[in-house]
Structure 1
Amino acid sequence: MTASFLSGSGGASVDGQVCSAKGCRNDAVHAVVWNNPKLHEPERRKVWLACEEHRQSLTDFISLRGFLIEVVPVETLTAADG
């Protein structure tokens, strides 16, 4: 799997939160929370949104690199996430 798996846009749409997987326009239900310690301060929480179909592949991509913090329901995100 390569970084091209991810879309550059991700994030919110008019209808709500959209999955971050490349080409996917499904509603996000999961938030894959991560941090690259070589680039980010420890308190920084980066987020990729995931639909049910892409939850595992996005989580695996981040986890393989040792960046995974947690996977939570998208509705639990706060302003500190992102």
Structure 2
Amino acid sequence: MNIHKISAATIARTACLLLALTNQLLSACGKPVLPIESQTVEQLVTAGITTVAALVSWWNNNSFTAAAIQADAEYARLKQKGE
């Protein structure tokens, strides 16, 4: 039998999904678990967009100096050659 170790991230994502689904079902019945106002939703969405944009910008290679730009070009050339 092959036993897989479930990561903490998987458990956290599943817990968040279950909470969101539970809140959605209870909201449909008029009894929300997480009573969130419209302004709070707007702030959360804005914070989420800002966080995603910041992480994408941070993750990507942002070369500003001439040496870094030259190194990127050399890397691309070597990658294209298959080295």
Same-fold call, TM cutoff 0.5: no
Structure 2 length-normalised TM? 0.25
Structure 1 length-normalised TM? 0.25
Higher relative contact order (CA 8 A, sep 6+): 1
Structure 1 or 2: more helix by fraction: 2
